[in-house]
Amino acid sequence: MTESNEAQQYSFKAETKQLLNILIHSLYKEREVFLRELLSNASDALNRLRFETVTNRDVRDLNAELKIRITADKDARMLTIQDSGIGMTRQEVIDNLGTIAESGARKFIEAAKEKNTDLVNVIGQFGVGFYSVFMVAEWVRVTSRSFKPDAEAVSWYATGEDNYQVGRADMSERGTRIEIKLKEDAVEFAEEYHLKNIIHRHSDYIGFPIYIGDSKDAVNKQTSLWRTSKQDVTEEQYTEFYRQTTLDFEAPLLHIHMSTDAPVQLYALLYISSKAERSMFSLRKDDGLKLYTRNILIDEYNKDLLPEYLRFVQGVVDSEDLPLNVSRETVQASGLMPKLKKVLTNQVMRELETLAKNNAEKYQTFWQEFGVYLKQGIAASPADAESINPLLRFKTNLNPETWSSLAEYVSRMKEGQKEIYYIVGEDPKAVLRSPHLDYFHSQGTEVLLLTDPMDSFMLMGLRKYKDFDLKNVAQADVDTTQKPKGEPEAEKIPDADFHSLVDTFKEVLGERVTDVRASSRLYQSVARLADADPNANPDLQRVYKYLGKDYEIPKKVLELNPAHTILKNLLRLESGSELQTIIIEQIYDSALLVEGLHPDPSSIAARVQQIMEAALRQETG
């Protein structure tokens, strides 16, 4: 190419000058975004030509290959990117490269002046991706020839200063060539291996071949797996793609391949791994989906496409409907994003329901790894509870070794049962010995066992399933006139003696309890703690404990079993004796421990030793 003497000089407008100055001196996270931008522009030019030729065959070089070629000369610090796309006329060059919308430039400059502004997140709102090239360029020359047969070649030249030149050029082929004189500190962008790495990272799935140097082999894959028909993809290909993108060599638990045209156009290939914890070798260092548009990666870790409780889902989403920003590092605010999120979320939830229905064993593996995320979803997004509820799984007092859905629990409910009962505890085995379960064990009533710390948070949003309210057994109203079948009723402590014992408990425990009284629902256990206020929320108490928010042991009512052997023997001890006192303390602390409310469980060990020592003294004395 040789420049004509007829080249004309133009001045950038004031706002554009300022914008270019900021761009040239901006601190991008990665300067390599310039190549992504230029390849994206080349891909757009090729797509536009392909669309043009659908209805118009009067096109320069009609049969020329649609391609992009990159050549580099490290010694000369030159990088050239050429496409055989639609090309530009002189006026289009001026309109596209010489002008930036004044209002957009002005807003960008104002935003850039604000402190703590992430320039990368702001710049993309103004459609000036081409200008990111000046982060690495001393000067740039663009030579282009339009697809129109009678159009002449045109040259555009700029250094990022106040002016740019436009003139005639010698170029016979259709398309656009961008020549970049690299800055001394950007010479690595003239190294072929570095260019290949950038292309693999950002532009691997551009739908046109990208050649480097004289090679006849394209660097990029071109055909993206997610845009391929499901019927043409094998299980091995799905697994291999997952391994390539994650370096997780254990097969994924589930893959979801989908494409839709309405309400939004999208392609997606999503994966759920077999383990929640990432391998130390994983390529994925953060949550979020890879977001592409027209096969161009615009966001490596997009967190807006799925709700947070599905953040364990990995994969790719590609939509041609999304507007892009200059750096492609954030997506321009758009009403399309909520639509994409809704479509993707609904599909993932449907796929999980299908998995649960068709492969209970595999779903159990999923639940044990990722169930906590769904529980968090109910806690953080109660509005989504209805869609999450069918995916929840629980163990129960009657089925402590197997997982049950809420639907399965309801199907097993006793006739006349109007509530779903649950108990919250610290340990799956210990909770089965909770005194709150005495009555339910005696009646054969099923109770959900909630022993995960997240369960208390989940209960903040899970108050009802279908027509059944969820009820904590500690607060449930039960018919205590129904006694355990087949077992003789134990003899109770005489009222006078029991009242005396209650007074002793009150004296020892003092203000730690609000009251001490007899219980009508204890059969196997010696005591239980009940809320003094029937409207209190024990689940919220646990949440406060886990969050460490001004947590104090809640003052409760201590209920005693008047027929229990321990209390009968306690009466035989000398009133106010050391052994009687420490046993009362232990009964209270044990009740706290079972509730999961004890602030210092290890402190009980010292008292157990005291009890043993006192018992031995009494036995040997």
Per-residue pLDDT tens for 228-282?
999 989 998 899 889 878 878 789 999 999 999 988 999 999 999 999 888 766 7
Instruction: Note whether 154 and 144 are within 8 A (CB).
Output: yes
State how far the Cα of 191 lies from the Cα of 182, in Å rounded to an integer.
12
How do 419-424 and 468-472 pair as beta strands?
parallel
Q: How many residues are there in the chain?
A: 621
Structure tokens at 47: 């797509």
Residue 79 phi/psi, 5-degree rounding, is -130, 130
Sheet holding 464-465, edge to edge: 395-396, 448-450, 419-424, 468-472, 464-465
| Structure confidence at residue 619 (pLDDT) | 67
Per-residue pLDDT tens for 551-577?
566 688 999 999 999 999 999 888 888
Residue 345 phi/psi, 5-degree rounding, is -60, -45
| Structure confidence at residue 478 (pLDDT) | 80
Domains and CATH numbers, the chain: 8-212 (3.30.565.10), 227-358 (3.30.230.80), 360-472 (3.40.50.11260), 495-535+549-620 (1.20.120.790)
**Average pLDDT score over residue span 120-139:** 68
pLDDT reading at 510 higher than 50 = yes
Per-residue pLDDT tens for 319-352?
988 765 434 444 555 678 899 999 999 999 999 9
State how far the Cα of 304 lies from the Cα of 306, in Å rounded to an integer.
6
This prediction has a pTM of 0.73
| Structure confidence at residue 597 (pLDDT) | 73
Structure tokens at 113: 């002046």
| Structure confidence at residue 546 (pLDDT) | 66
* Torsion angle of the four alpha carbons 216, 220, 222, 224, in this order, in degrees rounded to the nearest 10: 150
| Structure confidence at residue 130 (pLDDT) | 82
Give 280's DSSP letter: T
Task: Give the mean pLDDT of the chain.
Answer: 86
Q: Please list the residues that pair with 11 across neighbouring strands.
A: 163
375/320: higher pLDDT: 375
Residue 352 phi/psi, 5-degree rounding, is -70, -40
Instruction: Note whether 186 and 24 are within 8 A (CB).
Output: no
pLDDT reading at 51 higher than 70 = yes
**Residue carrying the six token digits 């108050």:** 463
Q: Within 10 Å of residue 207's Cβ, how many Cβ atoms? A: 18
| Structure confidence at residue 569 (pLDDT) | 92
* Helix pair angle (565-572, 495-509), 10° resolution: 80
C-alpha torsion sign, points 54, 58, 64, 69: negative
**DSSP H stretches of helix in 210-335:** 235-246
Which stretches of 337-410 are assigned E, i.e. beta strand? 395-396
* Torsion angle of the four alpha carbons 337, 343, 345, 348, in this order, in degrees rounded to the nearest 10: -140
The helix/strand count (H/E) of the chain reads as 18, 21
Give 78's DSSP letter: E
